[in-house]
Amino acid sequence: MTSLDFDLYATDDAARTGVLRTSRGDIRTPTFMPVGTAATVKALYPEQVKDAGADVILGNTYHLMLRPGAERVKRLGGLHHFMRWSGPILTDSGGFQIWSLSDLSKMTEEGVIFKSHLDGSRHMLTPERSIEIQADLLGADISVQLDECTHYPCEKDAAASSMQLSRRWGVRSKSAFGERSDQALFGIVQGGVHEDLRQESAEELVAIGFDGYAIGGLAVGEGVEMMYRTLDITTPHLPHNRPRYLMGVGKPVDLVEAVARGVDMFDCVLPTRSGRHGQAWTDWGPMNLKNMRFAEDNRPMDATLDCPAARDYSRAYLHHLIRAGEYLGSMLLSWYNIAYFAHLTARMRAAIAAGEFGTFRARFHACMAEGTDAI
Amino acid sequence: MTSLDFDLYATDDAARTGVLRTSRGDIRTPTFMPVGTAATVKALYPEQVKDAGADVILGNTYHLMLRPGAERVKRLGGLHHFMRWSGPILTDSGGFQIWSLSDLSKMTEEGVIFKSHLDGSRHMLTPERSIEIQADLLGADISVQLDECTHYPCEKDAAASSMQLSRRWGVRSKSAFGERSDQALFGIVQGGVHEDLRQESAEELVAIGFDGYAIGGLAVGEGVEMMYRTLDITTPHLPHNRPRYLMGVGKPVDLVEAVARGVDMFDCVLPTRSGRHGQAWTDWGPMNLKNMRFAEDNRPMDATLDCPAARDYSRAYLHHLIRAGEYLGSMLLSWYNIAYFAHLTARMRAAIAAGEFGTFRARFHACMAEGTDAI
């Protein structure tokens, strides 16, 4: 029994397309979740995110618990109301940011102690507190268990004991979450790049029973080949009828390759971060709009994309804005990239539904091989 | 004979309201022109500027001639097409920014030699080149003559010789501009704070014959009382049937006081610059959204203002965004401020038309006296 219906419409080899149904709206899968770190998808209005085709966004527990504070968000009406996003929100557990951003952290069986990167204040995050913040205070539609993310490379013994800690935290998270009619909880598969650990982690999480399964501990330096291989050895151990979420990934090609391996959900700061730095993503790779070859290129980024940032503004203007350091350059390229990523997932959904995902994937790689000089 | 029809609908003491008719649309006066320095009103989409109630924007010749370059803008279809603003654009002459931004400048009878603040490259701007850039290359609807702006304080002899140089440049600008059916040219009244010089400058410019008259050399450190007094001694010497433009002004109260003295047009970076720094302007003064008193203030900035930035987002959210250094905070407060300034001019137009400008002005000062704690 789950609070999150997942209707799988079609599969094409390992690739799948379907719809996750939440009380705040449907999430068409494969889906890409723009990251709204500090209660805003950087440089975008919430309406733009929605209109660009994003069904769901991600909120960062670590950032929000520190600023403006989870209790404050609750008093202000919850995260959806606070940031004016009426669609579904998935929050992460806070674990990954503690691991990557905070000044100091100490892992104990109980939880993790860390110092804020903002003001050095001391905090403790436990599996129970993470659930309280995500589900009760922020009001996330989908919460994710607290886990420990291991560095790469990592000795197998360390990967195993870390994975077991994450599993125990998964049990506590599930217990703290309880039964909820309109909110869901995802577990996180760990185990580094080790097949037996990934299998063990997946099977134990499935035994606990979650609404969906995140695949953690990837995109942390292991390289794409190792990441793809780890997906190959992990997704077969996850239930067919539950969504699979690859955390923190990634480049467009990584989305295509992970979908080919049965992944349904993604999140990454790449489209907005790239946009702020003058990069526009395409099937042919990232275009650097700062490049002088765009100085008098009066074509839009992509006239076929139903997004004003892609269709209505010239590359020459984007080039000028980025070189001049203007807000509007970051705004337009972040918007364009979010629309491109949403459109990429839409094209994958259509290709899978038509049984043509293999063709889509081959064409995508052919474009990448051509490079951005072709467009 | 002029290419710029100006229909004065009503006057109320010295205050006036009317419509300037350009081939790209009507400009309702009094009007405030948002500043689009580098071919963008900072942090706003062009549609937002228009929808906020702005009829006309200002472009900076100095910035655009250096980046992306005036000839390049021309090749890309002109400034309107380049930046996607289909309404009227007024450009300044470049003189003021050379005076305030460039590394070195040398004034000669011929023009001004300066070094770019961007790359140190050497340039010369003459009255004729300024007209070429504004009217021919950028395609401004309203161009402004090149002038010399004197510092404050300034000896009367220096103010007089500077004013005479600006007058001679006015003659050359008019000659270079020639007769145009759908573009207009403004002269600039100088003369510091000296009544006889301001009168002489105004009368000589009127004899040359311009489509409108800018009042220059104010808001450069002389203080508001001296600025108001200089307006008092200047506007009576300008023709009733031509628009009057107070350059680089200013705060809302300065707009109200200048309108009371017969000014029709304004421009200033204040609303967008303040917005980027967390300030929201109101009749009660500037509100600093960083202030902790807004941390849990769930009210919008102004529910009565027909602008999403004013109506749909809470002060608590704006407070959070500004404190977190998020783009969206700058975007929303710049948008709000542009809408507030546009609405302020709209209320002044309505008050003048109703013969109630004195009451409006008194109420405005009463709000200012209350301060922002009142709202």
Q: Which residue has the higher pLDDT, A255 or B219?
A: A255
- The answer, yes or no, to whether residue B69 has pLDDT greater than 70, is yes
Which one of the listed residues B92, B141, B147, B302 is annotated catalytic? B92
What is the DSSP annotation of A136-159?
III--SEEE----PPPSS--HHHH
- The answer, yes or no, to whether residue A124 has pLDDT greater than 60, is yes
Q: What is the pLDDT of residues A142-159, one digit of tens each?
A: 999 999 988 888 899 999
Å between B215 CA and nearest CA of chain A: 29
Q: What is the pLDDT of residues B233-248, one digit of tens each?
A: 999 999 999 999 999 9
Give the confidence band of A3 by pLDDT, cuts at 50, 70, 90.
confident
Residue linked to tokens 């010789």: B161
- Chain B residues with CB-CB distance to A317 below 8 A: 39, 76, 82-84
Q: Are B336 and B280 in contact (CB under 8 A)?
A: yes
Q: Which residue has the higher pLDDT, A2 or A213?
A: A213
Whole-number average pLDDT of chain B:
96
CA-closest candidate to residue B307, choices B40, B49, B85: B49
Q: What integer pLDDT is reported at residue A362 of this predicted model?
A: 98
Q: Is-catalytic flag, B267?
A: yes
- Chain B residues with CB-CB distance to A67 below 8 A: 320, 323-324
Q: What is the pLDDT of residues A315-351, one digit of tens each?
A: 999 999 999 999 999 999 999 999 999 999 999 999 9
Q: What span, in angstroms and rounded, lies between the C-alpha atoms of B359 and B353? A: 13
- Chain A residues with CB-CB distance to B326 below 8 A: 38, 40, 42
Both tokens assigned to B154:
């300034």
- The answer, yes or no, to whether residue B31 has pLDDT greater than 90, is yes
Both tokens assigned to A316:
């020459």
Read off the pLDDT of each residue in A134-146 and give the average, rounded to a whole number. Answer: 98
Kindly give the pairing relationship between strand A5-12 and strand A15-22.
antiparallel
Read off the pLDDT of each residue in A203-230 and give the average, rounded to a whole number. Answer: 96
Which one of the listed residues A92, A211, A264, A302 is annotated catalytic? A92
C-alpha to C-alpha distances, A343 to A15, A34, A53, A282, A347, nearest whole angstrom = 17, 13, 7, 11, 6
- The answer, yes or no, to whether residue A264 has pLDDT greater than 70, is yes
Both tokens assigned to B184:
């207009």
Which positions in chain B have a beta carbon within 8 angstroms of at least one beta carbon in chain A? 38-40, 42-45, 67-68, 72, 75-77, 82-84, 276, 295-296, 298, 312-314, 316-317, 320-321, 323-324, 326-328, 330-331
Percent of chain A with pLDDT over 70: 99
**CB distance A45–B328 less than 8 Å?**
yes
What is the DSSP annotation of A39-104?
SS-TT--HHHHHHTT---EEE-HHHHHHTT-HHHHHHTTHHHHHHT--S-EEE--SHHHHHHHSS-
Read off the pLDDT of each residue in B115-119 and give the average, rounded to a whole number. Answer: 92
- The answer, yes or no, to whether residue A102 has pLDDT greater than 80, is no
**CB distance B326–A38 less than 8 Å?**
yes
Q: What integer pLDDT is reported at residue B354 of this predicted model?
A: 98
Give the confidence band of B338 by pLDDT, cuts at 50, 70, 90.
very high
**CB distance B316–A38 less than 8 Å?**
no
Q: What integer pLDDT is reported at residue B207 of this predicted model?
A: 98
B292 burial (CB, 10 Å; 0-12 / 13-18 / 19+) is: exposed
Strand-pairing partners, residue B59, are: B36, B91
Cα-to-chain-centroid distance, residue A254? 12
Written as one letter, the residue type at A273 is R
- The answer, yes or no, to whether residue A1 has pLDDT greater than 70, is no
Q: Are B189 and B198 in contact (CB under 8 A)?
A: yes
Which chain A residue is nearest to residue B296, measuring alpha carbons?
Answer: A76
CA-closest candidate to residue B40, choices A327, A119, A238, A227: A327
Q: What is the CA radius of gyration of chain B?
A: 20
Q: What integer pLDDT is reported at residue B3 of this predicted model?
A: 76
Q: What is the pLDDT of residues B254-292, one digit of tens each?
A: 999 999 999 999 999 999 999 999 999 999 999 999 999
Whole-number average pLDDT of chain A:
96
Q: What integer pLDDT is reported at residue B152 of this predicted model?
A: 85
Read off the pLDDT of each residue in B315-341 and give the average, rounded to a whole number. Answer: 98
Minimum-distance CB partner of B326 among A42, A312, A317: A42
Written as one letter, the residue type at B313 is Y
Percent of chain B with pLDDT over 90: 92
Q: What integer pLDDT is reported at residue B2 of this predicted model?
A: 67
Strand-pairing partners, residue A214, are: A188, A245
Q: What span, in angstroms and rounded, lies between the C-alpha atoms of B89 and A177? A: 58
Q: What span, in angstroms and rounded, lies between the C-alpha atoms of A131 and A137? A: 9
Q: What span, in angstroms and rounded, lies between the C-alpha atoms of B58 and B245? A: 12
Q: What span, in angstroms and rounded, lies between the C-alpha atoms of B338 and B332? A: 10
Q: What span, in angstroms and rounded, lies between the C-alpha atoms of B147 and B208? A: 15
Long-range contacts: A177-183, Cβ < 8 Å, 24+?
Answer: A177/A131, A177/A135, A177/A143, A180/A3, A180/A135, A181/A3, A182/A3, A182/A22, A182/A23, A182/A141, A183/A3, A183/A135, A183/A140, A183/A141, A183/A142, A183/A143
**Helical H segments across A294-356, by residue range:** 308-311, 315-323, 327-353
CB atoms within 10 A of CB B229: 15
- The answer, yes or no, to whether residue A166 has pLDDT greater than 70, is yes
Residue linked to tokens 């990967």: A159
Q: What span, in angstroms and rounded, lies between the C-alpha atoms of B253 and A69? A: 38
Cα-to-chain-centroid distance, residue B10? 22
- The answer, yes or no, to whether residue A185 has pLDDT greater than 90, is yes
**CB distance B314–A82 less than 8 Å?**
yes
Q: What integer pLDDT is reported at residue B101 of this predicted model?
A: 83
- Chain A residues with CB-CB distance to B43 below 8 A: 327-328, 331
Minimum-distance CB partner of A331 among B38, B316, B327: B327
C-alpha to C-alpha distances, A197 to A201, A241, A249, nearest whole angstrom = 6, 22, 21
**CB distance A75–B42 less than 8 Å?**
no
- Chain A residues with CB-CB distance to B82 below 8 A: 314, 316-317, 320
**CB distance A320–B68 less than 8 Å?**
yes
Give the confidence band of A2 by pLDDT, cuts at 50, 70, 90.
low
**Helical H segments across chain B, by residue range:** 46-51, 61-66, 70-75, 78-83, 95-101, 127-131, 156-177, 195-208, 224-234, 252-260, 270-276, 308-311, 315-323, 327-353, 357-370
Q: Is-catalytic flag, B297?
A: no
Read off the pLDDT of each residue in B181-210 and give the average, rounded to a whole number. Answer: 97
